[in-house]
Amino acid sequence: MDDLSLPRFLAHYFPTFIGGIFAALFSLACAIPLMAAFYFAGASVGEQATWSVVGGAAVTLVVVHCNFMVVRGRPQWVWGLVGVLVLCLLGVLPTIVDRPHKVIYVLAVLFPLSGLLLLNSKRHREMRTQLVEIRRQRELIRQASKASRTQR
């Protein structure tokens, strides 16, 4: 696996990577309406919608940033994704009291669990290891380039 070309690398790891992203985004899409209706029951529908959009946008930016940092070879940022998925799961579980729509509730529980499973999969861990190695190679090339410029 050390000499993967870009097309082979993407063919091997991209489905797992994008699956984790979609699991996080679908988790948010299912969790936010349930949580807004449950935790902000006294607020008007307009206020619920406003805070849902603002909160959803903020957490989506967290998901995007964490995935960007993982791609840049910083595997510790996967914990941000784990946090978002756990937050979605733990935030949705108590909403069963309000008797939400069964399909939405099941999806709101299923997506975070599947996202956590993908992030813990062997392939996702391999991808993070490969991305760290690519970052190290990139840093070595950058250092060699700086050294050759200073010698001129």
pLDDT digits (tens, 9 = 90+) for 63-111: 999 999 999 999 999 999 999 999 999 999 999 999 999 999 999 999 9
- Residue pair 105/96 in contact (Cβ under 8 Å)? The answer is yes
State pTM to two decimals.
0.90
Q: Terminal CA-to-CA distance of the chain, rounded, Å?
A: 37
Q: Which pLDDT value is given to residue 149?
A: 82
Cα–Cα distance list, 5 to 9, 12, 69, 126, 130 (Å): 6, 10, 21, 15, 12
